[in-house]
Amino acid sequence: MRLSTGLRLTPMALLLVLQGCGGGSSSSPTVEVDGSSTVFRISEAAREEYSRLNPNVTVVVDNHGTGGGFSNYLNGEIDIVDASRNAKPDEEAKAKAQGIPWSRFTVGTDGITVVVNPKNTFVKSLTVEQLKTIWEPDSKVKTWKDVDPSWPAQPIVFYSPDVDSGTFEFFTEAIIGKARQQRDDVQPSSDDNTLVNGVAGDPDGIGYFGYAFYEENANKLRAIPIQPSADAGAVAPSVTTILDKSYRPLSRPLYIFVKQASLRKAAVRGFVEYYLEHIDVLAKKGGYVPPTPEEKEANQKALSSGQAAPTTSAKDAA
Amino acid sequence: MSPNETKPFVSPDELWSTGSPLRSLAESAITVGLFLCALVTVLTTTGIIVVLSVESMEFFRQSGIGLLDFLTGTELKPELSPPKYGILPLVWGTLVIAAGSTMIALPIGLLSAIYLSEYAPKRVRNLLKPALELLAGIPTIVYGYLALLIVTPMLKAIFEPIGVRVETFNALSACIVVGVMIIPLVSSLSEDVLSAVPRGLRESAYGLGATKFEVSTRIVLPAALSGVVASFILALSRAIGETMAVVLAAGMRPRITLNPFTSVETMTTYIVAVTNGEASHGSPKYLSLFAVGMALFVMTLTLNILSGLVLRRYREVYQ
Amino acid sequence: MSPSIAEPKYQPHRMARRWAGPLFGIACFLATLTGVLVLSVVLGAVIAAALRQPGAAPWYHLGTNLRELFDLLLGLVQKPQSSDPLRAGFRAGVVGSLWMLGLVGLMAIPVGVGAAVYLEEYIAPGALRRIIQTNIANLAGVPSIVYGILGLAVFVRAFGMKEYALGRTLIAGGLTLSLLVLPVIVISTQEALRTVPNSLRQAALALGATRWQMVRDHVLPAALPGILTGTILSLSRAIGETAPLLMVGAAGSIGVLPRSPFDRYTVLPVEIYNYAKNPKVQFQTVTAGGILILLLLLLTMNATAIIIRNRYARSG
């Protein structure tokens, strides 16, 4: 095979030419979405349905994590951030400083479900205090008996999302009180399906992940009702209890942050309007509970006024 | 009189071109073009070093961690205050996975290469060699799931009856799947080099009464040694740099341990975890991944320089 | 005193030598078989996962299963991404991966072969050459995600210079992957070039060929099988990479197909990874189907290269 000079130099010439014309983009209007892999599933459903009705608009959804989403937003690369947590104060300050403020919309609620293996029949419910002693750093709990003397003395096997996951951050903040502080001897995984398989295959296992993962595998797992405080009853996670906020404190709201400047563009506005209008169906498709009527009203207010919604986390006590 | 004596300096390309100016121009142009290709690799390294150093220095500045603490610290807990960024557990994890996987891949790869080039009939070789190359193309995430869904249960079934606890995420699974993944690097490249050893060499050995085993191991293999070792180094490099399979198989617990049945974290899995995680970009935790990347780069560079120095003495050239 | 001929090292040891051969041969065969065995296990597991439907035919009904598998894969290739497992497929990923293969092949192979030729045939052996070679060997071990970081900084963002930035486009991903596989191509091509006997080079030169003519017409064709092996291994690696492409902009979810190298895109491994993380159990079938499509793509590509390799293989 003769690799003639021409054949060999052409690719290099091509390379140089291609490098020269940078920054080109497709001609159809584009909506760029990025952020949490949790909210990704809702945004993806929105993309799919919206694109079917408006094939000339290109919607692209990425899932680089909430932190990654905010960072790309601050770099001016995206229009919408999917977030499984509120924006941090420094992120919001940077956005304002750069002149790209956002509007926040609630797109659903996720109930973090604590599960054990179905063979575990003795754990009837857990209080927040018990959860804290089980999961806190330097915890003294090694066996089930350490939690409740009436339980067997089997060693517990802990399955948890990895330290960089939003689920992990929320759980630790809600249960232990300090974000990202958890005991060391857990089996971490970035893939929730792996945690499902872990607990489903281990009679001594305990783990936690989003409600959708429990719902899909309800035949292999047992969800533990959580007792939020001494005077309240234990509440099991379900669509109803997450919706009416009785499943506490492990319900977390899911947000999208939309650049206000982008809302003035027809493509983005159309997409966001469709998203919010059909949020019931879309949230369910993503495996989450839709926002409450009050939250939806707040969404509409934010949409019409174009104001930045309050973003300090103190206001989001469940 | 030859051209060398009349002109004070003649470039090699002019020498080859027998005096035609157009040909010598073309030759020079090609030389420059090829040099640019080689330059791309140098530029890549420069780019990597620049990107990593800039952010690493920002990391050390923001976090206040000393270089010595970073390199020799045994605790990796960015969540504590003050955070601890000792990377020794990560280095250990990387070494464990690299050593374990090469212990599996190098013998199997080399023996397969010898089988394919010396023993196998042509039809079998033409079938098996591509089959092994297919192993190189299986996506790394598939290997990760393979470890979780097949290898670890197998290990549990073998070892738990004798009382050894096998965790869901363990280093041995990762070593096995990474080892399998790099077998084709060793087998295919070594097989090419082994087949290229001139036939005359083998036949003279047979003529002197050597057996096939002796010919393969004492004649052919030493002749092809440089290529075989190059494939070893390529495989080892791949093992050190492998990310996704190890993430899924070995879990993410940075610790220094000799127990292969427990979870470890390598430098690469740490980088992936921080990249995809929820840490806000620009925070010390996020910047630490660049510092770890830099450390990894320096580590592999040292290894390569050392191996280069050692190997220079062992190349045999025939004809 | 000369050593006696009865000393152990001069004995013929015929028995031991007679048995060492076949034993060694069996060991080698078993080693090869291990690799093939693992491949079969992986393929078997993936195919089983792809066909796992309630009411599916048992595994020994090969005809039904093969047909069902074929229908499944054909369907998956045509369907776009969806959050509904019944409507989900890999259309965008397949097209993106094909684009990526083309771009990487077009860019990495010539540059890699060119660099190897320069290092083997042109540059004088010495310190400069050793430095470049050590550098390339080191690059082979850099984790793929670091290439992703590099690609993000240089190609996607151009260090902040927006006029030169390529954005999250196919070409940026292609350049990143090309850099990733470049060291493998260079090293394997160099080894292939080293196997070409010097007598071939000297014969060409003696007949009056210029250096480039010698390389192009004599050395490269002789080294072609090894070069193709390196190509196969590197493109196989490129097609299966997830992490670096996620960093440089392969979309998590996209509905349109790329029409030029400057469009947004996604690739098969990224789609597979996203489907695998979905809680819905039916997505596991989809995921397994995607893996099979990827392997088939790989097989076709490898087969083409192998056919070319066999045509030029040395017979002696």
- How many CA atoms within 13 Å lie on the side-chain side of A164? 28
Structure tokens at C155: 């190609």
SS3 category, B2 = coil
Residues of chain B by 3-state class (helix, strand, coil), percent to 5: 75, 0, 25
Same domain for B217 and B158, yes or no, is yes
Mean pLDDT check: name the lowest of A64-68, B128-132, B308-312.
B308-312
Q: What is the pLDDT of residue C173?
A: 93
**Whole-angstrom Cα distance, residue B35 to residue B171?**
43
**Whole-angstrom Cα distance, residue C211 to residue B268?**
43
Structure tokens at C210: 């210029």
Please, what sign has the CA dihedral across residues A80, A84, A89, A90? negative
SS3 category, B228 = helix
SS3 category, C2 = coil
Answer yes or no: do C216 and A4 touch at CB < 8 A. Answer: yes
- Which residue from A minimizes the CA distance to B273? A164
B135 part of a folded domain: yes
**Whole-angstrom Cα distance, residue A236 to residue A205?**
19
A56 touches chain C (CB under 8 A): no
Q: Which residues, given as ranges, of chain A have pLDDT below 50?
A: 1-11, 13-26, 308-318
Rg of chain A, C-alpha, whole Å? 23
Question: CB of B260 within 8 A of CB of B158?
Answer: no
C34 touches chain B (CB under 8 A): yes
- Which residue from A minimizes the CA distance to B281? A71
Answer yes or no: do B195 and C141 touch at CB < 8 A. Answer: no
B1 part of a folded domain: no
- Reported residue count of chain C is 316
SS3 category, A43 = helix
| pLDDT of residue C253 exceeding 90 | no
**Whole-angstrom Cα distance, residue B263 to residue A285?**
35
Question: CB of A46 within 8 A of CB of A274?
Answer: yes
Rg of chain B, C-alpha, whole Å? 25
C168 touches chain A (CB under 8 A): yes
- Reported residue count of chain B is 319
Answer yes or no: do C111 and A62 touch at CB < 8 A. Answer: no
Helix (H) or strand (E) holding C254: strand C253-254
Q: Count the neighbouring beta carbons within 10 Å of the beta carbon of residue A52.
A: 10
Please, what sign has the CA dihedral across residues C170, C175, C180, C182? positive
Answer yes or no: do C110 and A37 touch at CB < 8 A. Answer: no
Same domain for B256 and B154, yes or no, is yes
Answer yes or no: do B33 and A8 touch at CB < 8 A. Answer: yes
Percent of chain C with pLDDT over 70: 94
| pLDDT of residue B51 exceeding 80 | yes
Question: CB of B233 within 8 A of CB of B304?
Answer: yes
Structure tokens at A129: 């205090």
Tell me the backbone φ, ψ of residue B302, rounded to 5 degrees: -60, -45
| pLDDT of residue B317 exceeding 70 | no
Please report, for the domain that includes residue B284, its CATH number: 1.10.3720.10
Structure tokens at A179: 């974000």
Tell me the backbone φ, ψ of residue A104, rounded to 5 degrees: -100, 135
Residue A239, CA distances (Å) to A183, A223, A280, A290, C193 in order:
30, 13, 12, 9, 66
Same domain for B36 and B108, yes or no, is no
Q: What is the pLDDT of residue C178?
A: 95
Same domain for B48 and B142, yes or no, is no
For residue C138, give the nearest of B108, B112, B300 by CB distance.
B300
C245-264 residues touching B, CB cutoff 8 A: 246-247
Q: What angle do CA A123, A128, A132 make, to 5 degrees?
A: 95
For tokens 């992986």, name the residue. Answer: C42
* pLDDT bucket at B12, cuts 50 / 70 / 90: low
Which chains reach chain A with 3 or more Cβ–Cβ distances below 8 angstroms? B, C
C212-241 residues touching A, CB cutoff 8 A: 212, 216-217, 220-221, 224
Q: Count the neighbouring beta carbons within 10 Å of the beta carbon of residue C26.
A: 12
Q: Count the neighbouring beta carbons within 10 Å of the beta carbon of residue C131.
A: 13
For B242-303, the DSSP string reads: --HHHHHHH-S-----S-TTS----HHHHHHHHHHSSPPTTSHHHHHHHHHHHHHHHHHHHH
**Whole-angstrom Cα distance, residue A227 to residue A234?**
4
For tokens 């092949």, name the residue. Answer: C105
- How many CA atoms within 13 Å lie on the side-chain side of B278? 25
For tokens 């085993």, name the residue. Answer: B213
Segment C87-113, tens digit of pLDDT? 888 888 999 999 999 999 999 999 999
Structure tokens at A26: 């497709």
* pLDDT bucket at B315, cuts 50 / 70 / 90: low
Same domain for B52 and B196, yes or no, is no
| pLDDT of residue C180 exceeding 90 | yes
| pLDDT of residue C185 exceeding 90 | yes
Q: Kindly state the average pLDDT of the residues C197-206.
A: 90
Interface test with A, best of B76, B278, B289 (most A CBs within 10 A): B278
- Which residue from A minimizes the CA distance to B36? A12
Segment B95-121, tens digit of pLDDT? 999 999 999 999 999 999 998 888 888
Structure tokens at C250: 């392969």
What pTM does this model have? 0.82
Which residues, in sequence order, are CB contacts of B216 under 8 Å at separation 6+? B114, B118, B119, C24
**Whole-angstrom Cα distance, residue B15 to residue B19?**
7
Answer yes or no: do A216 and C280 touch at CB < 8 A. Answer: yes
For tokens 């974290």, name the residue. Answer: B265
Could you tell me the CATH superfamily of domain C93-315?
MetI-like (1.10.3720.10)
Question: Is residue A60 exposed (0-12), middle (13-18) or buried (19+ Cβ within 10 Å)?
Answer: buried
Which residues span the domain enclosing B235? 84-313
For residue C184, give the nearest of B34, B234, B304 by CB distance.
B234
State the smallest CA–CA distance between residue B82 and chain C in angstroms: 28
Q: Count the neighbouring beta carbons within 10 Å of the beta carbon of residue B299.
A: 17
Tell me the backbone φ, ψ of residue B205, rounded to 5 degrees: -65, -45
Which chains reach chain B with 3 or more Cβ–Cβ distances below 8 angstroms? A, C
Which residues, in sequence order, are CB contacts of C267 under 8 Å at separation 6+? C93, C96, C97, C100, C173, C245, C250
DSSP letter, residue C9: G
| pLDDT of residue B301 exceeding 80 | yes
Answer yes or no: do A216 and C281 touch at CB < 8 A. Answer: yes
List the one residue out of B161, B318, B144, B151 whose CA is nearest residue B248: B144
- How many CA atoms within 13 Å lie on the side-chain side of C158? 14
**Whole-angstrom Cα distance, residue C298 to residue C303?**
8
When the pLDDT of each residue in chain C is averaged and rounded to a whole number, the result is: 84
Interface test with B, best of A189, A252, A257 (most B CBs within 10 A): A189
**Whole-angstrom Cα distance, residue C277 to residue A213?**
10
Hey, what's the torsion of the CAs at C180, C182, C184, C185, to 10 degrees?
150
Distance of CA B10 to the CA centre of its chain: 42
| pLDDT of residue B4 exceeding 70 | no
For residue C262, give the nearest of A24, A37, A48 by CB distance.
A24
State the smallest CA–CA distance between residue B303 and chain A in angstroms: 31
For C34-91, the DSSP string reads: HHHHHHHHHHHHHHHHHH--TTPPPTT-HHHHHHHHHHHHHHHHHS---SSTTT---H
Segment A181-218, tens digit of pLDDT? 888 788 888 778 888 888 887 888 899 988 888 888 88
List the one residue out of B45, A230, B96 whose CA is nearest residue C154: B45
Answer yes or no: do B135 and C212 touch at CB < 8 A. Answer: no
Same domain for B180 and B238, yes or no, is yes
Answer yes or no: do C279 and A217 touch at CB < 8 A. Answer: yes
Answer yes or no: do C134 and B305 touch at CB < 8 A. Answer: yes
Question: CB of A66 within 8 A of CB of A90?
Answer: no
Same domain for B123 and B158, yes or no, is yes
Report the first-to-last Cα separation within chain B, whole angstroms. Answer: 32
Answer yes or no: do C133 and B31 touch at CB < 8 A. Answer: no
Question: CB of C114 within 8 A of CB of C123?
Answer: no
* pLDDT bucket at B13, cuts 50 / 70 / 90: low
Answer yes or no: do C150 and B128 touch at CB < 8 A. Answer: no
SS3 category, A61 = strand
Rg of chain C, C-alpha, whole Å? 25
Helix (H) or strand (E) holding A34: strand A30-35
B290 part of a folded domain: yes
Cis before residue C85, ω within 30 degrees of 0?
Answer: no
Chain C residue numbers touching A8 (CB-CB < 8 A):
110, 114
Same domain for B254 and B213, yes or no, is yes
C274 touches chain B (CB under 8 A): no
For A89-131, the DSSP string reads: HHHHHHHHHTT--EEEEEEEEEEEEEEE-TT--S---EEHHHH
Answer yes or no: do B137 and C153 touch at CB < 8 A. Answer: no
Cis before residue A249, ω within 30 degrees of 0?
Answer: yes
C281-310 residues touching A, CB cutoff 8 A: 281, 308
Count structural domains, chain B. 2
Answer yes or no: do A71 and B281 touch at CB < 8 A. Answer: yes
SS3 category, A52 = helix
Answer yes or no: do B293 and C149 touch at CB < 8 A. Answer: yes
Q: Give the residue, B271 or C116, on which the prediction is more confident.
A: C116
Segment B193-237, tens digit of pLDDT? 888 888 898 999 989 988 888 888 888 888 888 888 888 888 888
For C142-202, the DSSP string reads: S-HHHHHHHHIIIIISGGG-TTT---SSHHHHHHHHHHHHHHHHHHHHHHHHHHS-HHHHH
Same domain for B25 and B164, yes or no, is no
**Whole-angstrom Cα distance, residue A221 to residue A116?**
6
Segment B76-100, tens digit of pLDDT? 777 777 778 888 889 999 999 999 9
Interface test with A, best of C253, C262, C272 (most A CBs within 10 A): C253
Q: What is the pLDDT of residue B222?
A: 87
SS3 category, A226 = strand
DSSP letter, residue B218: I
A69-88 residues touching C, CB cutoff 8 A: 75, 77
Q: Give the residue, B65 or C104, on which the prediction is more confident.
A: C104
Answer yes or no: do A12 and C110 touch at CB < 8 A. Answer: yes
SS3 category, B200 = helix
Answer yes or no: do A85 and B263 touch at CB < 8 A. Answer: no
- How many CA atoms within 13 Å lie on the side-chain side of B159? 18
For tokens 């369910």, name the residue. Answer: A284
State the smallest CA–CA distance between residue C163 and chain A in angstroms: 6
